[in-house]
Amino acid sequence: MRTFVYKKHNLLATLSVLLIFVFLLMVDFYYSWQEYEDRLVRDAQNGAIYAEETVGQIISILEAIGRSPVLKSGDSAKISRFLNEVGYYQQVTSLELANSDGMRWTGKRTDIGILDVSDREFFQGAVETGRPYVTGAVRSKLFPKIEFVVSCPLYGEDGKLENVFYAPVWNDRFFRNFLNKIKLESGASLHVVDQDQQLLISSLKEVDRLETYKPKTFSTENNNIYKLITSPDARLTARKAIPGTSWAIIVDQDVSVVVRKVLGKVFYDSLIIILVLLPVILAFTIFIIQINRQRHELIRSNKKLQSLALTDGLTELLNHRAFQDTLSRYIEKAGPEAPLTLVMMDIDNFKIFNDQFGHQAGDVVLKQLSLLLKSYFKNAGVVARYGGEEFVAILPNTGHEEGLAIAQQLCAAIQTTPIVLDAETEVRIAVSIGTATYPKDAEDRENLIKFADRALYKAKEQESNKVQMYYSVLEELRVNIKGDQDLMKVIHTLNTIINAKDKYTYGHSERVMNYATRLAVHMGLCQEDIHNISIGAFLHDIGKIEIPGDILSKPGKLSDEEFEFVRKHPLIGAEIIKPIKSLEKARQFTLYHHERFDGTGYPFGLSGKDIPIYGRIAAVVDAFDAMTSNRPYQKVKTCREALEEINRSAGRQFDPDIVSQFIELFSKTREEEPDSQDCFSVMIH
């Protein structure tokens, strides 16, 4: 992805430079073309100015001749002088003579016979004016030339017209000199046309190509540029009238030649542009590369910082903060149709492991467990390190039972997967797992985490390598209590207090309530007794609120003074709930749960049937949970071991009938070996 971004920006920079370069070439082509058109216009203007000057010289001479006195046929001296003057110009082709009827009958050119010139401009002009006459440029009917004609009428003594003398004057030299002297800036072709757009002379030898120059080919306006599209050529032209004449200068060039000239100029200009811009382009390219490199480094640094902010440095899993954010996003998408299960796990006896193998070995365990979790939940969920040796997994679209099954499979997989500490040491670890499901168990993120943690704690209370899904006794109480919201508030408050005081006591109360309720149902007690037993069992240790935490969690044996202090908790608990009249009977469970069937219990030392049935039930289930739960001062027993111990104590510590009912309940609830899983899970299922 980084390479793609890098190339993308370089490509954009290169395209930008190329587009700018192409734009400059297009602008250069346009202005070069305009410049060539301007050259054509200047050539046409300069040619017209030079032609005006040259033509003016000839016209001045001929007009001088035309101002000669009227010649008469008998005035031989004047005629000779006139002929000498006209014949002085090398351009004079011949000296001819026509009679009054317009028939040429003699002249310098002996190869010309009798010729009728009566319709010619020079003849008619001389006759009509009675003076020498100079024509404009005309095509000779005898020769392929453009010529002027100077004519003069000759009269007899009687004043009648006898002859008309005329002298054709060729203009080839004039035009040749004109073409040789004028230098065209554009390098185009130059042509002179008359008022009828007929070609007078051209710098091209292939005059036939100029047949396109016919009347109406050009506008009568001056200084215009015309693109004549003719077959097979397209030509670019400029036209300028020659002042003082009816002629015009035309400068033209083949469009293909113009294109070649312009492209040639653009090519050299582009070389100059490249030479000038090359350092700039190189500098710009280096600048872009540096910017891209810095941008790449910035992106990589930002990703690294983001990774550091969201990833646990040791395990490379999501850290606690990222887990919280991720869980919030998943909960937004979850619902009854798409539940979400949170799996919280904790490595069993990890402190002991660190003490034995060292913290570096502990880090190896955390890393390898993280790899296992990544692989296990690769396509099923998101894994994070919650803290210390605790990990969590978010399982979207996973319900309560499915989440429990996944957790149980994971628990087994972890226990059977060896972890290699070094070349010689291989260990196996176990984890305890708690699960809670949204929205079944919790309505928000905070409670979902709290309930999963509570389930984890319950799992760890049993023994290593256990899975516990969240179970809320409050929901069960709420069903039993039905509409008594005030009572539920009191119970919830007491529940919160005892949970904050001692998590073990809270979990113990939940389990005792579960066992007591199931046993009461199994014994066939009435609904009121079942209701009171459920509440009483849940609150039976509420008196421990007054006992210091260091005594409750003391790992060793209690002193006599401490034990006496603990023995007061049934009385304290009974006093706490005494003001609540609806809990009067439930209070018996709290008050008598430490009485013994043989009368050696406390606080009253009652015996046998004198102990209310609530107290006799409480004694059995309370002792059973105490034996099957982890406590600081004793080793946990299996369900079988605990049941055997209770059975041995029947008649001394416990009511034999209730013991028998409790063992029967367990046998009925679970047919398989009781050692295979924890007792509480058996009971709630």
Query: SS3 string of 421-485?
Result: CCCCCEECCCEEEEEEEECCCCCCHHHHHHHHHHHHHHHHHHCCCCEEECCCHHHHHHHHHCCCH
Secondary structure letter of residue 526 according to DSSP: -
Task: Specify whether 486 is located in the same domain as 460.
Answer: no
Q: Are residues 433 and 574 in the same domain?
A: no
Q: 669 or 231: whose pLDDT is higher?
A: 669
Say if residue 325 is in the same domain as residue 466.
Answer: yes
Please check the confidence at residue 142 and state whether its pLDDT lies above 80: no
Whether 493 shows a pLDDT value over 50: the answer reads yes
Among residues 166, 162, 168, 130, the alpha carbon closest in space to that of 151 is found at: 166
Report yes or no on 517 lying in a domain.
yes
Confidence at 498, pLDDT banded by 50, 70, 90:
low
Domain closes at, from 470, 488, 518: 470
Q: Please tell me the total count of domains within the chain.
A: 2
Residues 496, 630: one domain? yes
Same domain, 420 and 530: no
The pLDDT assigned to 558 comes to: 79
Is the pLDDT higher at 275 or at 55?
Answer: 275
Residue 173: the pLDDT is 60
Is 248 domain-assigned?
Answer: no
Q: What is the CATH number of the domain that holds 485?
A: 1.10.3210.10
175 in Cβ contact with 95 (< 8 Å)? no
State whether 381 and 368 are in the same domain: yes
Average pLDDT over residues 320-324: 90
CB neighbour list of residue 636: distance below 8 Å, 6 or more residues apart:
462, 463, 627, 628, 629, 630
- Domain final position from 422, 451, 470: 470
586 and 648 fall within a common domain:
yes
Asked whether residue 681 is assigned to any structural domain, the reply reads yes
Task: Note whether 432 and 531 are same-domain residues.
Answer: no
> How would residue 219 be classed by pLDDT, with cut points 50, 70 and 90?
very low
Q: What is the pLDDT of residues 57-101, one digit of tens each?
A: 655 655 555 555 556 666 666 666 666 666 655 556 677 888 889
Residues 672 and 523 in one domain: yes
Residues 441, 490 within the same domain: no
Residues 666 and 552 occupy one common structural domain: yes
- Whether residue 13 is predicted with pLDDT greater than 70 in this model: the reply is no
Residue 436: partners with Cβ closer than 8 Å, 6 or more residues away: 341, 342, 344, 442, 448, 451, 452, 454, 455, 469, 470
Any domain includes 245? no
Give the 3-state DSSP-derived string for 573-636, with helices as H, strands as E and coil as C: HHHHHCCCHHHCCCHHHHHHCCCCCCCCCCCCCCCHHHCCHHHHHHHHHHHHHHHHCCECCECC
The answer to whether the beta carbons of residues 408 and 435 sit under 8 Å apart is no
Report the interhelical angle of 320-333 vs 445-462 (nearest 10°).
120
- Cα gap 676→298, rounded to integer Å: 56
User: What CA–CA distance (Å, rounded) separates 351 from 347?
Assistant: 9
What's the pLDDT band for 222 if we cut at 50, 70, 90? very low
Q: In Å, what is the CA distance from 566 to each residue of 542, 544, 545, 594?
A: 12, 8, 11, 11
Last residue of a domain, one of 429, 455, 470: 470
One domain, residues 466 and 481: no
| Domain membership flag for residue 97 | no
Amino acid in position 147 = E
Spatial CA neighbour of 433 closest among 544, 509, 317, 345: 345
Residue 624 — φ and ψ, nearest 5°? -60, -45
Could you tell me the residue range of the domain that residue 573 belongs to? 474-685
Q: What integer pLDDT is reported at residue 661 of this predicted model?
A: 93
**Cβ atoms within 10 Å, residue 462:** 22
**Mean per-residue pLDDT for 641-658?**
93
Residue 133: in which H helix or E strand, if any? strand 133-134
